[in-house]
Amino acid sequence: MKTSVKNTLLIVTQICVGDQIPVSFAAQGPNCRIFQEARVIDELPILIKKAIITSNCYDTECMNRQRREVPIKLRLSTGIISQELPAEKRVVRNTNIKKLMLLIQPTDEMSKQIRVELNENAATRDKDLEMIKEWLAKQPHLPKFDDDQRIMTFLRGCKFSLEKCKRKLDMYFTMRAIVPEFFSNRDITRPVLQEVAKLVHLPPLRGLTHKGCRVIIMRGVDKDIPTPNIPEAMKTVFMIGDIRLKEEEHGVAGDVYILDAAVATPIHFAKFTPPIVKKFLVCAMEAYPVKLKEVHVINISPLVDTILNFVKPFLKEKIRNRIFMHSDIKTLYDYVPREILPTEYGGDAGPIQNIHMWMKKLEEYGPWFAEQEAMKTNEALRPGKPKTQDDLFGLDGSFRQLSID
């Protein structure tokens, strides 16, 4: 069985574990691309001789420009394969490439554990959702907001506490009015944001930990690079967070952050002033349904120790206890499984540059981000006193302890 495909977008999908699909593929012309590991390979021609499905995760091994057997470990999304395959395994054309960059959702068994963790009751969650929507509709200062998925993500992040969810949603829209440096001009094609994407890696990993947590890596590319525009870098983090509000369809148990300090220098840290750090932390922790489970700092140095010793007094004890320092990458594997980590960290999920291509999703969401510019409070209509930056962050920019659940 052999299928020759030319000038066609080819992506294999819906293949069962153990299937072997011989595919002869001669890629020619500018309209022919292969999407693998959520990235576009433009070097042509590329020839695939055989694809062997080996697992049910989204990870793949890279292809090169040689004839070879390519192990695919990926539920891919579109393309053409032999019509001799059973109908249920045939692939449809022209499926949006966005499907390649979907975050892997929890398995059914993991979802059960997560629902217990999040206090989610399938019998009452829809009623909770409607109660929040009714409350939102009655608030004169809040925009019209009926995004069920995002509201459900807030409910899950608040463990279905309706009052806490209301406070978070109010802050979510308030920050968009009060902190335009983080929440306006969110166009990833702007040169300053393109520069951020080149200088730092900020990808959420597609896989989950065994406890159902999402892992986010933050790392600089090179110690000799200039420090990126810090407010714009923080803006990028919130853009990723907003996409996750929509795409964590079934919820996760929490977030795990890996902070790689390998290329951090005093020059880089000097740009992180206390006021900007405080503003970022308040926005992240009080306006987003964050469930911070762990922070892992790797490639530590005396400089990193100094910075952490500066920050820790402003965190509550339970949060300080969630920060782990790793002088050896192997100790990280006790918390984050190797199969979801990038190659650079001894993992099996491929190079981080390929995972970083998830950032292309920010371009796809460009029109949506433009629409979201209007999704903010009208402080003139807020019952009682309007909110100001001084109310939220203080006059002197000093820190206070942040409460993180």
The answer to whether 235 touches 193, Cβ cutoff 8 Å, is: yes
User: What is the structure's pLDDT at 395?
Assistant: 52
Averaged pLDDT, 216-240:
89
Residue of 274, 272, 276 whose CA lies nearest to 259: 272
Residue of 48, 18, 22 whose CA lies nearest to 36: 48
Q: How far is CA 84 from the centre of its chain?
A: 38
Say whether both 165 and 24 belong to one domain.
no
User: What is the structure's pLDDT at 98?
Assistant: 52
Query: Which residue in the block uniquely carries the two structure tokens 């947590």?
Result: 213
Question: Cα(271)–Cα(188) distance, rounded to whole angstroms?
Answer: 22
Say whether both 25 and 154 belong to one domain.
no
Say whether both 25 and 110 belong to one domain.
no
Say whether both 20 and 122 belong to one domain.
no
Does residue 78 fall inside a structural domain? Answer: no
Averaged pLDDT, 264-270:
81
Say whether both 143 and 37 belong to one domain.
no
Averaged pLDDT, 1-16:
35
Does residue 322 fall inside a structural domain? Answer: yes
User: What is the structure's pLDDT at 405?
Assistant: 53
Highest mean pLDDT among 126-140, 318-332, 345-359, 383-397: 126-140
User: What is the structure's pLDDT at 8?
Assistant: 33
With a cut of 60, say whether residue 241 has pLDDT above it: yes
User: pTM for this one?
Assistant: 0.73
Distances (CA, A) of 360 to 97, 246, 393, 405: 10, 16, 33, 31
Number of domains in the chain: 2
Residue of 308, 395, 339 whose CA lies nearest to 59: 339
Question: Cα(234)–Cα(240) distance, rounded to whole angstroms?
Answer: 10
Say whether both 160 and 216 belong to one domain.
yes
Phi, psi of 147 (to 5 degrees): -80, 95
Say whether both 28 and 128 belong to one domain.
no
Verify cis geometry, omega within 30 degrees of 0, for the bond prior to 45: yes
What is the residue type of 86?
Answer: P
Question: Cα(280)–Cα(230) distance, rounded to whole angstroms?
Answer: 10
Say whether both 43 and 139 belong to one domain.
no
With a cut of 60, say whether residue 145 has pLDDT above it: yes
Q: What is the pLDDT of residues 11-54, one digit of tens each?
A: 333 333 333 333 333 333 333 233 332 222 332 222 232 333 33
Say whether both 288 and 195 belong to one domain.
yes
Say whether both 28 and 147 belong to one domain.
no
pLDDT above 70 covers a percentage of the chain that reads 72
Q: What is the pLDDT of residues 86-139, one digit of tens each?
A: 333 333 233 334 544 678 899 999 999 999 999 999 999 999 999 999 999 999
Question: Cα(352)–Cα(341) distance, rounded to whole angstroms?
Answer: 8
User: What is the structure's pLDDT at 269?
Assistant: 80
Say whether both 152 and 36 belong to one domain.
no
Domain span holding position 25: 10-55
Does residue 62 fall inside a structural domain? Answer: no
Does residue 235 fall inside a structural domain? Answer: yes
Say whether both 176 and 37 belong to one domain.
no
With a cut of 70, say whether residue 368 has pLDDT above it: yes
- Could you give the maximum distance between any two Cα atoms of the chain, in Å? 72
End-to-end CA distance of the chain: 55
- Angle ∠(352,356,360) on CA atoms, nearest 5: 160
Domain CATH for 318: 3.40.525.10
Averaged pLDDT, 378-387:
94
The answer to whether 365 touches 358, Cβ cutoff 8 Å, is: no
Q: What is the pLDDT of residues 316-334, one digit of tens each?
A: 788 889 999 998 999 999 9
Question: Cα(322)–Cα(175) distance, rounded to whole angstroms?
Answer: 26
Question: Cα(156)–Cα(162) distance, rounded to whole angstroms?
Answer: 10
Does residue 61 fall inside a structural domain? Answer: no
- Angle ∠(295,301,304) on CA atoms, nearest 5: 50
User: What is the structure's pLDDT at 180?
Assistant: 95
User: What is the structure's pLDDT at 355?
Assistant: 80
User: What is the structure's pLDDT at 166?
Assistant: 98
